[in-house]
Structure formats: structure tokens, C-alpha cells
């Protein structure tokens, strides 16, 4: 879903990141407030003041979104759902959970926590604006707090629309899950509603463009496309998790992997291993002991002029929880690890001994086969496991 992101801070063990697209919306929103909204609300101020107010209001809005997402994250964690973090991006923010909530009750409270937090922020900023009016604060400060109150109220109203993956859609999913005792059915239904809502926003955007509101129309189109894609991906990811649950890593891995010794040069590795076997990752072993792995990613960090001087030992990545998985672990754990680290390959080990290589393609082939035989996959296929890849 996201591109390059940067971690800003960590609170209560939950990292907060900003996607590169977030910078674009900060600039656009600040420009819109500084050149249109605030000059119309309070004429006569200097351009510098309008830009300062626009930036403060924009940062305040995204601080409100962080509060909203932290409410989701903290409640989810209280129900035992691991959190990958919070990411701010062009369409707002998202609390990234690595697993589905464990019950309809958990789903309801995780979903409703965000809107409740936004209602509190809206009430607080509205109260500050009212107090500022009573105490004759500068009009500019009152405008900023009034804007934040209005935007948080709008955030609540939009998020409570019962279209997955919006919060209202998740609340509806919790009710359907409780009623039918089927998370899959509940997700399929609310995802279809979410997809339909996305189409409605796209149509609204096209009509706005036709009537002359190009920027506003394009914004609705983009939001509609995002919601439609997010709804479809949410259902596909649920199918993936359901198919892989209970399946052992050993069933998917490729056995007898090609290994490389640590003391050959990078040039030898590229020429005699990568170009010969067409693999992106090779385990590094010496006398049967697994030292780590070397992949195309590590090679890219070595200048070509140094390939004949540097050895595999110099560039290998040591064994860690990021690049290995135990032989008899559940395949869903491998999927979670791939999604968290952005890798498409893991070394399969048993008590520290290399047993094979597990790739994203191994999992996808099994998914396609099982869904073809037993399930009804949306549109007859499954998309990629995650937004990332890599070696």
C-alpha cells in the first residue's frame, strides 16, 4: 500500500512513520488554507501569517489523525493483536495490524476507538475555540482551533460510513461476524460495500470534473480508487490467512538449496552462482554450519570495482529472526515475517541447521491451487502477499 516511509517517533512501543506521499498532502493542504480558506475567514493579515496558520492547522490535523490511529492501535494491542505501526500517507493514516482481531467484540472496540478519539479531539478543540472567543484571543488562533474541530467532526462522519475498510465498515463487520459466526462472510460483504462506495466516489469525482471542479473531482476519484483497492485487498489477505492457517512451513519449502562458502569473492558469487542458478538469495555455510545469507540486495551495495576484492563473508547478512523461519512453524508466521520485513525469501532451519528455502512464490502456488479446488477466490485470483518484495 505504501512506498518509502520514514519513522518519526515511537510511542508506547508503536512506531509512527510518514509515507513520502504525506509530504505532498501537507504542501497541498497548507497551500489551500493559506491562499483560500483563512484569507476568506479573516481578511487583512499578511501572507506570512496565513502560511504560518496554514502549516499549524495542517500539522494539527495530522496530529489529530495520529491520536485517532493510536486509539485503534492501543485497543487492538489490548486484545492481543500485534501492531506493525502507524503510517501517515496522502489519504490520512492507518494503524497496521499484522493479524485480524480475535473476536467480533475485539473488532467492534478496535474499530470504534478511533471515532471516539476523534469526537474527543473535536469537542476539545471546539471548547478551546469557544473559550478563546470568550477571552478575546486573536481571531487567527480561534480560526485554527475552529478548523480543527470541524475537520475532526468531518473525520468522524466519513469514517463511520459502513463501508470496509472505513471504521464504520469494521463496526458492521463485527456485527455480521457476531451474527453469522463467519469472519470470511462478514469481510466479503463489507468489502463489497466498500468497493461499491469507492465506485460511487469515483463517479462523484468524474461529475465534479465535468462541471469544472477539476482538483476537487480528482481528489474524490483518487479516494474512491484507494478505498476500492483497499477493500479488495483486505478480503484477499483474509483468504490468504485462512488458507495458510495450520499449514506447516515444511510443506512449501524447496529442499537441498544451493549454498556458497564465505571466502569466495563477490565476482565469483555473481558469475558462478547467481548467473548460473538464477537465484536471488544463497545461504552461506562453512562445514555445514549456517552463517547467514547473501542476496542481490547485498551485492547492489558493493561497487563493481570491488567485486574481485570483497568476499561473501564481508557482505553476508547474519542469521536472524528476519531472514529465517523454523521448519515446523505455521506458514502464517512465515507470511507475517515476509510482510513485516519486506522479504520474499526465508531460510528454513531446524535447530540451527539449514533445511531449505521458502519463497513467496511457493506460498502463492499453494494458495492458487487450494483456492481453485476448495475456495471461491475473488475474480479467480489472489494478488501479491504484500506491497513489498525483495530478496
DSSP letters, 91-143, are: TEEEEEESS--SSHHHHHHHHHHHHHHHHHHHHHHHHHHHHHHHTT--HHHHH
| Residues near 85 by beta carbon (within 8 Å), at least 6 away in sequence | 7, 14, 15, 16, 17, 95, 96
> What domains can be seen in the chain, in order of their start residue?
5-244 (no CATH), 249-380 (3.10.580.10)
Rounded Cα distance, 287 and 289, in Å: 6
**Cβ–Cβ under 8 Å, residues 65 and 40:** no
Residue 292, beta-bridge partner list: 284, 318
Rounded Cα distance, 235 and 377, in Å: 9
What was the pLDDT predicted at 241? Answer: 75
Q: Which whole number is the average pLDDT over 127-134?
A: 92
What was the pLDDT predicted at 239? Answer: 74
SS3 content of the chain, % helix, strand, coil (to 5): 60, 15, 25
Determine how many CB atoms are found less than 10 A away from the CB of residue 316.
20
What was the pLDDT predicted at 327? Answer: 83
**Conformation bin of residue 286: beta by default, left when phi > 0, alpha when psi is -120 to 50:** beta
What was the pLDDT predicted at 64? Answer: 94
What was the pLDDT predicted at 363? Answer: 80
Q: Say yes or no to pLDDT of 112 above 90.
A: yes
- Helices 214-244, 331-341: crossing angle, 10 deg rounding: 150
Q: Is 153 exposed, middle or buried (0-12, 13-18, 19+ CB in 10 A)?
A: middle
Rounded Cα distance, 344 and 95, in Å: 23
For 355-385, the pLDDT digits (tens) are 888 888 888 777 777 766 765 444 444 444 3
What was the pLDDT predicted at 371? Answer: 67
Q: Dihedrals φ, ψ of 30, to 5°?
A: -60, -45
Rounded Cα distance, 255 and 102, in Å: 34
Q: Are strands 5-11 and 14-19 parallel, antiparallel or unpaired?
A: antiparallel
**Cβ–Cβ under 8 Å, residues 307 and 267:** yes
What was the pLDDT predicted at 256? Answer: 79
pTM of the model: 0.72
Per-residue DSSP letter, 349: E
Q: Say yes or no to pLDDT of 2 above 80.
A: no
Query: Which of 144-153, 243-252, 283-292 shows the lowest mean pLDDT across its residues?
Result: 243-252
Mean pLDDT of the chain: 85
Rounded Cα distance, 20 and 355, in Å: 39
- Pull the grid cell for residue 202: 469515483
Q: Dihedrals φ, ψ of 118, to 5°?
A: -70, -35
Residue 295, beta-bridge partner list: 281
pLDDT class of 70 with cuts at 50, 70, 90: very high
For every residue of 9-20, DSSP letters joined together read: EEETTEEEEEEH
Rounded Cα distance, 107 and 116, in Å: 15
For 218-242, the pLDDT digits (tens) are 888 988 898 888 888 888 777 777 7
pLDDT class of 74 with cuts at 50, 70, 90: very high
What was the pLDDT predicted at 101? Answer: 86
SS3 241: helix
- Pull the grid cell for residue 94: 492507518
Amino acid at each position: 500500500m505504501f512506498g518509502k516511509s520514514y519513522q518519526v517517533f515511537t510511542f508506547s512501543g508503536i512506531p509512527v512513520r510518514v509515507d513520502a506521499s504525506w509530504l505532498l498532502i501537507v504542501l497541498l493542504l497548507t497551500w489551500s488554507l493559506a491562499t483560500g480558506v483563512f484569507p476568506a475567514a479573516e481578511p487583512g493579515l499578511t501572507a506570512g501569517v496565513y502560511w504560518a496558520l496554514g502549516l499549524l492547522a495542517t500539522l494539527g490535523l495530522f496530529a489529530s489523525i495520529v491520536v485517532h490511529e493510536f486509539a485503534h492501535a492501543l485497543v487492538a494491542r489490548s486484545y492481543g493483536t500485534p501492531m506493525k505501526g502507524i503510517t501517515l500517507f496522502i489519504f490520512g493514516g492507518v494503524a497496521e495490524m499484522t493479524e485480524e482481531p480475535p473476536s467480533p467484540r475485539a473488532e467492534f472496540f478496535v474499530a470504534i476507538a478511533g471515532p471516539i478519539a476523534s469526537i474527543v479531539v473535536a469537542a476539545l478543540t471546539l471548547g478551546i475555540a469557544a473559550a478563546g472567543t470568550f477571552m478575546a484571543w486573536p481571531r487567527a488562533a480561534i480560526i485554527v482551533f475552529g478548523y480543527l474541530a470541524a475537520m475532526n467532526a468531518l473525520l468522524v462522519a466519513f469514517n463511520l460510513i459502513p463501508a470496509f475498510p472505513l471504521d464504520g465498515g469494521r463496526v458492521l463487520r463485527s456485527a455480521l461476524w457476531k451474527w453469522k459466526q463467519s469472519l470470511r462472510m462478514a469481510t466479503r460483504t463489507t468489502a463489497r460495500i466498500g468497493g461499491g462506495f469507492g465506485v460511487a466516489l469515483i463517479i462523484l469525482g468524474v461529475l465534479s470534473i465535468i462541471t469544472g471542479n477539476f482538483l476537487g473531482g480528482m481528489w474524490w476519484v483518487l479516494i474512491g480508487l484507494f478505498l476500492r483497492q483497499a477493500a479488495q485487498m483486505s478480503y484477499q489477505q483474509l483468504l490468504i490467512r485462512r488458507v495458510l492457517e495450520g499449514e506447516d512451513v515444511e510443506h512449501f519449502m524447496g529442499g537441498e538449496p544451493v549454498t556458497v562458502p564465505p571466502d569466495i569473492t563477490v565476482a565469483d558469487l555473481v558469475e558462478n552462482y547467481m548467473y548460473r542458478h538464477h537465484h536471488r538469495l544463497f545461504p552461506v555455510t562453512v562445514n555445514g554450519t549456517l552463517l547467514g545469507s547473501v542476496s542481490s540486495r547485498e551485492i547492489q551495495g558493493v561497487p563493481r570495482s570491488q567485486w574481485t576484492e570483497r568476499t561473501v563473508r564481508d557482505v553476508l547478512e547474519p542469521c536472524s529472526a528476519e531472514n529465517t523461519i523454523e521448519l515446523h512453524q505455521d506458514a502464517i508466521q512465515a507470511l507475517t515475517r515476509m510482510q513485516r520485513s519486506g522479504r520474499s525469501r526465508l531460510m528454513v532451519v531446524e535447530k540451527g541447521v539449514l533445511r531449505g528455502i521458502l519463497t513467496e512464490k511457493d506460498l502463492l502456488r499453494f494458495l492458487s491451487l487450494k483456492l481453485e479446488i476448495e475456495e471461491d477466490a475473488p475474480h479467480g485470483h489472489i494478488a501479491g502477499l504484500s506491497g513489498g518484495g525483495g530478496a
